[in-house]
Structure 1
Amino acid sequence: MTNGPPPRVARVWDWLTGVHSTKSAYWLILGPTIALTFIGVVMVLSASSVEFIGGAGSFASLSSQGLYAIIGLVLLFWMGKWQRETYHKLAVIMLLVSIVLLCLVFTPLGVEVNGNRNWIRLGGFSFQPAEAAKLAFSVWAAYALSQKLKTTSFGKNLLVPVVFPFGLLVVGLVMGGRDLGTVLIMLMIIATILYLGGMRTIYLVGTAFVGLVAVALVTMQSDNRMMRIDAWMGNCNHPADPCYQYEQGLFALASGGWFGVGLGQSRQKWSYIPEAGNDFIFTVLGEELGLLGALMVIGLFMTLGIGMFRVAYNSTDNFVRISTGAIMTWLLGQAFMNIAMVTGILPVIGVPLPFISAGGSALLMAILAVGVVLSFARHQAQELQEKSHASGPPAARKESVESTR
């Protein structure tokens, strides 16, 4: 009688973790990132071009989203060469800068969009500080815990400083701008960081419960959010027609069929779907590229997740493991929430689809977050290669020993 999983399960697990491959994680991260960014630029052009016909021109969205994509990809390859120590030095600075930017939202520089005050605008430049806060908090919290784990044991001690005070401060500032979708993403990031830091289940569950209660209270205090919950439950009898948006999205997905109506040929984007280029861009993608196109995008996100999982699983560095897990939770969790939202599995929350939805700051921060993990994957592959070369195959080691006699 043998212990352990069956051979087939073991092979699948070995493939998933990439324990026998040195470079696969790097390409599993880089490839989907470039592909998703390219698809996003094309889909933003397709979904948003009809909104600019009488104003800035049909290609205005391409020039904006494309510029951020080019800048992001250039920085991606640059950051991919950074050492871990570079992120250690920048961690505190990134956190402080993100907090300052979040505070600027409540100054005259802050701009309210669709009921949420989560933008700052300076001249012709606009930026969403909450996107920078996701990346900054993921890197800083991982660094803080990696340093603290050297001198303390797992448990409630890890709540300081990740949850108290900086976690609450960041979440409170985002919540002050009434951006509930980003609050949920931040809570997911914090939960992942605490879990990977070794937080005991009782403390983690307690922290999650407090967070969910706070989100529920904030939701009940907003008539607009409660109307969205009612619409999700099928109560559409309201003058505002709260079911209209996701119903039109489902019509778009249904009309796409297997192969879609053709790139640029969506009918629902012509003022039928509100925020067609932003939160509901996946429905336009499904209509134009069909079920196969939608599954391709989901497959790219899954591939990106496998690459990041391999980096975190094969690392013995707490900083690499925690920050990679936090970034993976952010990108994949947000992608799941967006796709579940537009397909009616979740109520309309208002979170963009990473890499795909319109929004330069969201695209740039998502690419930079991948750049952080890409640098870990690159150096991890180098370390594994050095170890394999140092040990060498058994035959080579035997010949080397005999040659020295």
Structure 2
Amino acid sequence: MATSGTRSGSRTSAPAVVRASGTARTKDAPAVKLRRLRERGTVLLDRIQGTGTQSSGASYYLILGSALALTAIGLLMVLSSSAVESIADDNSPFSLFVRQSIFAGLGVTAMLILSRWKPATYRRLAWPGLALSVILLLLVFTPLGESVGGNRNWITLPGGTSLQPSEVAKLGMCLWMAAVLAAKERLLGNWKHLVIPVVVPGAILIVGPVLAGNDLGTAMILMLIIAGGLFFAGAPLKLFGIAGLCATALVLLLVVVSPNRMGRILMWTDQGCETTTGLNMQSCNGLFALASGGWWGVGLGQSRQKYNWIPEAHNDYIFAIIGEELGLLGTMVILALFGILAIALVRTVMRQESLFVRIFAGSIMVWIIGQAFVNIAVVTGLLPVIGVPLPFISYGGSALTVTLAAVGVLLSFARTSAAGRKKPGGLIGRLRQHTSAGTR
């Protein structure tokens, strides 16, 4: 009887334990689920950011490989799209290709040299870089300056070599802005230490001369670079709202006072291509090129729109020629390479410990990826026509050389591993702080 009583007791007590434990699990389930979700968010951020030397090496080779692949495609498409106009101008069909190849060689050399420099070296060059940028921009308004397409944004150096100072100013702006904001790291919580030392001098010294040369497209890219630097410095989001409204008002004012810009805006809103002999000639024929390319394209070198239907097809509208000759597949390859480059740059920026390096690399990332997005959006009709080249691909020695040099800077940062990194600033920092606090 005793034995059976013991068994009976055990049978009655076991369900109570199960019920008790089940009740505990039921009460703790929401907290457990929330903790697991936050842990998954942290894991996701870690995967995006990457950790250790293995991730650093992967980002390095992704940046290098995508940049070189885009440059090689650009050289090929410059040869294809410029040959017809070169022959029409009684020049060799290889003249622009050879010239672009020389600048590509200079750019790759600068990239390899800069990839070996340390952040301290860059930081010492911040103010000299700004001074050089301002001097070159001001030389545009001297007898050395030259107007192209209604924009006074070129200088002709002794020997006949042309240089676009605004391309140098993009890299100089990124470097100087990173040095200034990093020096004020402890004061960045006050908006005055973000606006006064960066936005006001940058607008006057860099954006001002570019606007004075009537180059609104490049000025917009420079303003985008400034916004990117402030974002990676951890500027409050309301500051971007105010700055965005001011920038929009300025752009609208510049559009209203310029009949050419107003005509382009009206043409873009109309989206009519019944006649293609006016301001819509470039945009409409670009769309025709993309449409005629279909899935696989008409064949490399077989474009019909490059026969002076698209003016300067090897420059701002080279993406349309890619779509016509290589089809949708070719354009998707370009987008994929820029996507790979963007992912590698995000990983590199998020992994950085130094505020200076994070702002410098982040500004370059916003510049290259943002400019590529703007150019492709213009060609596909999502934005009105803006004179902005496609990085690595459009013809232009100054742009290609400086962009490859900027890639060298990114490679030098991707080479380092941030074992004891600080919490990143900006939106990523706030996301990581939220997930970390929830996990704890």
Provide TM-score, normalisation by structure 2: 0.83
Quote the offset at 1:200 in angstroms.
2.1
Contact 2:129-2:172 at 8 Å conserved across structures: yes
Partners of 2:184 and 2:91 in 1: how far apart?
A: 52
Partners of 2:56 and 2:103 in 1: how far apart?
A: 31
Change (3 A) 1:154 1:314: farther
Change (3 A) 1:302 1:53: same
The one of 89, 93, 100 equivalent to 2:135 is 100
Contact 1:263-1:288 at 8 Å conserved across structures: yes
The answer for the alignment partner of 1:261 in structure 2 is: 298
The answer for the alignment partner of 2:149 in structure 1 is: 114
Quote the offset at 1:366 in angstroms.
0.7
Contact 1:193-1:326 at 8 Å conserved across structures: yes
The one of 51, 66, 88 equivalent to 2:101 is 66
SS at match of 2:146: strand
Change (3 A) 1:155 1:286: same
Partners of 2:63 and 2:271 in 1: how far apart?
A: 42
Contact 2:276-2:284 at 8 Å conserved across structures: no
Quote the offset at 1:166 in angstroms.
3.1
Partners of 2:229 and 2:46 in 1: how far apart?
A: 25
Partners of 2:45 and 2:192 in 1: how far apart?
A: 32
The one of 137, 143, 150 equivalent to 2:179 is 143
Partners of 2:404 and 2:280 in 1: how far apart?
A: 33
The answer for the alignment partner of 1:286 in structure 2 is: 323
SS at match of 2:154: strand
Whose Rg is larger? 2
The answer for the alignment partner of 1:51 in structure 2 is: 85
Equivalent residues in 2 for 1:146-165 (5 A)? 146-150=182-186, 153-165=189-201
Q: Which stretch of the first structure deviates more once superposed, 254-263 or 6-15?
A: 6-15
SS at match of 2:415: helix
Change (3 A) 1:5 1:259: farther
Provide TM-score, normalisation by structure 1: 0.90
Change (3 A) 1:56 1:168: same
* Equivalent residue letter for 1:194: L
Equivalent residues in 2 for 1:6-405 (5 A)? 13-19=45-51, 21-54=55-88, 55-122=90-157, 123-150=159-186, 153-234=189-270, 241-380=278-417, 384=419
Q: Deviations over 1:195-229 (max 9, x none)?
A: 22122223332222212211111111100000000
RMSD over aligned CA atoms reads 2.0
Which segments of 5 or more consecutive residues in structure 1 lack a partner in the other structure? 386-405
Partners of 2:43 and 2:186 in 1: how far apart?
A: 34
Q: Deviations over 1:38-94 (max 9, x none)?
A: 111111111011111142210001111000001111111111010001101111111
Which segments of 5 or more consecutive residues in structure 2 lack a partner in the other structure? 1-31, 421-440
Percent sequence identity is: 47
* Equivalent residue letter for 1:60: S
Quote the offset at 1:248 in angstroms.
0.8
Partners of 2:178 and 2:42 in 1: how far apart?
A: 30
SS at match of 1:379: coil
**Aligned length, in residue pairs:** 383
Change (3 A) 1:243 1:78: same
Partners of 1:284 and 1:240 in 2: how far apart?
A: 19
Partners of 2:46 and 2:322 in 1: how far apart?
A: 34
Q: Deviations over 1:302-345 (max 9, x none)?
A: 11111111111011211111111111111111101100001100
Contact 2:302-2:325 at 8 Å conserved across structures: yes
Contact 1:253-1:290 at 8 Å conserved across structures: yes
